[in-house]
Amino acid sequence: MNLSGMAENKIGILSTRELSPELLQKTALQNINVEAYAFIEIIPNVSQETTALIQSLAKQQLAVIFTSVNAVNAITTRLTAAPAWKIFCVGGATKNALLRFFNASCIIATAKNAILLSEKIMVCGNVKEVTFFCGNLRMNHLPNRLSAGGIQVKEIMVYQTELTPIAITKEYEAILFFSPSAVHSFFSINTTPVNTVLFSIGETTTAAIETYCNNKVITSSWPAEADMLEMATAYFK
């Protein structure tokens, strides 16, 4: 979705995720013009089997993991009350989404990425099994590290990610990437001019970008859309 027209006297940035009008307005006031398109589509797993499983798990006291807003939304839309879960999650948008449904006391630990989160889970000492709510394209880092550390991981796929690539014909000063999936979708039919600066929401997204090009990549220190836009805005001041 094209959210604003390009202006000749403004810095042009492409976002590979649709952004809120509030964030776009904030950047527009700082001589930044953002065009946002969805390069992936999130499809919740709405099968009766998965719904019944989630509702059954909600009655149990579990240690659970969330590493994306999509997983949070897939779970909370199936529940009417917050379960008594011990939650380990990635910070930023994922944590904020959880706090709209769960009490803050339910969140045991947060980290800026899945690798650091796995380390925090392992040092807890009393966690022997975790339930990981994830998508079909989830990365292997977290479950592999936990399994190697003797923690049993039960994965439940609660959403699917489908790539929805869009051919880009304009040149932008910068491109924002919010997930490895969006990176793969973008580069499946596009390339980037060598002088385009690429902004990444985290290390795994940066690693995906670097498999496709040698452009300058700047990685956000925290996984949130607002942080990404602030970082890009500050870069071009």
Segment 182-194, tens digit of pLDDT:
999 999 999 999 9
Segment 26-62, tens digit of pLDDT:
888 888 999 999 999 999 999 999 999 999 999 999 9
Q: Which of 133, 161, 189 is the last residue of a domain?
A: 161
CA atoms within 13 A on the CB side of 136: 11
Rounded Cα distance, 187 and 168, in Å: 10
Burial class (CB in 10 A: 0-12, 13-18, 19+), 105: exposed
Tens-digit pLDDT string for the chain (237 aa): 444 444 457 899 999 999 999 999 888 888 899 999 999 999 999 999 999 999 999 999 999 999 999 999 999 999 999 999 999 999 989 999 999 999 999 999 999 999 999 999 999 989 999 999 999 999 899 999 999 999 999 999 999 999 999 999 999 999 999 999 999 999 999 999 999 999 999 999 999 999 999 999 999 988 889 999 999 999 998
Q: Which of 126, 161, 196 is the last residue of a domain?
A: 161
Residues 151 and 51 in one domain: yes
Return all residues near 171 (Cβ < 8 A) that are at least 6 apart. 12, 193, 196
Q: What is the CATH number of the domain that holds 124?
A: 3.40.50.10090
Looking at the structure of the chain, the number of domains it has is 2
Length of the chain: 237
Q: Which domain holds residue 133?
A: 42-161
Residues 140 and 154 in one domain: yes
Residues 180 and 77 in one domain: no
Residues 168 and 192 in one domain: yes
Q: What pTM was estimated for this model as a whole?
A: 0.87
**Closest listed residue to residue 110, CA positions, set 118, 137, 10:** 118
Single-letter amino acid, residue 109: A
Q: CA dihedral defined by 55, 60, 61, 63, rounded to 10 degrees? A: -50
Single-letter amino acid, residue 127: V
Residues 172 and 149 in one domain: no
CB 178 within 8 A of CB 202: no
Is residue 114, in this structure, part of any structural domain at all?
A: yes
Tell me how far the alpha carbon of residue 41 is from its chain's centroid: 13
Residues 76 and 132 in one domain: yes
Tokens of 231: 């970082």
Residues 69 and 57 in one domain: yes
Rounded Cα distance, 144 and 122, in Å: 12
Return all residues near 167 (Cβ < 8 A) that are at least 6 apart. 189, 190
